Amino acid sequence: MNEFVSRGTGVMALAVGMSSLLAVAALILFFVGLFQGIPSLSPLGGLNDSLNALTSLLSAALATALYPALKRLIPRGSLLLLLCVWLGAGAVSYGSWLIINGRSDLELSSYYYFVGNGLIGIWAWALNRSARQQGVWSPGLTQLGMIASGCMMVGLLGLYGILFGFDGSRYSPLLLLSGISYLGIGFLYPAWGIQLARWILSIDHAMQRS
């Protein structure tokens, strides 16, 4: 199970966390520009969508790197979990493409974003649960990962909006309900990625010194 503590895993986890935080920062600045009438900040909306897609693809890359280790812990379900992550990354990327190219309004693209991250959350929950049971990561780290992924999975409610093609209602009850998952997506999940990176890289540094 060296993949759980490899330096490569730590670097990828750090990339996931940092790209997600940059996406949040871009979104905040976009809304500041929107409400304060600062046109120069308007391109940050597109940057946020691009960073969302990048974060999802980095999550899929992390899942792929951890697949051999997870397969040993969950022989029957590991491939399905990996497919969930890649399907989620595809959904997030497609949602970003829709809004960047003006193919949809905010509502429909958001449903793809929340559902895609919900699928990534399924993988993250199973990963942290298995790591917790085997004691390969610290209890605090796996607890944070499970809480983050639990919040992310709330976004799967947005599947209803995708199936029925809801769009144009920026503040529909379903969109707001799905948006509860943003606590996990935008804050807890990147915090988990950064903490995982710190934990792995600190172990790697200690091993190099010994």
Written as six digits, the tokens of 152 are: 């992310």
Separation of first and last alpha carbons in the chain: 21
Please give the residue that has the higher pLDDT: either 175 or 64: 64
Does the pLDDT of residue 28 top 70, yes or no? yes
Does the pLDDT of residue 106 top 60, yes or no? yes
pLDDT tens for each residue of 167-189: 986 678 888 889 899 999 999 99
pLDDT tens for each residue of 29-40: 999 999 999 999
Q: 37's torsion region: left (phi>0), alpha (psi -120 to 50) or beta?
A: left
131 — pLDDT class (breaks 50, 70, 90): very high
Lowest mean pLDDT among 46-50, 178-182, 191-195: 178-182
Please give the residue that has the higher pLDDT: either 1 or 160: 160
- Tell me the C-alpha distance between 172 and 73, whole Å: 41
The predicted pLDDT at position 2 comes to 82
Interacting residues of 106 by C-beta distance below 8 A, sequence separation 6+: 99, 170
Within 10 A of 166 (CB to CB), how many other CB atoms are there? 18
Written as six digits, the tokens of 144 are: 């944070």
Written as six digits, the tokens of 39 are: 């046109």
Write the DSSP symbol of residue 91: H
Written as six digits, the tokens of 57 are: 């693809």
Do residues 77 and 126 make contact, with C-beta atoms less than 8 angstroms apart? yes
**Which sequence spans correspond to the domains of the chain?**
2-209
User: 3-state class of 119 per DSSP?
Assistant: helix
Write the DSSP symbol of residue 157: G
Q: Could you tell me the pTM of the whole model?
A: 0.95
Do residues 65 and 3 make contact, with C-beta atoms less than 8 angstroms apart? yes
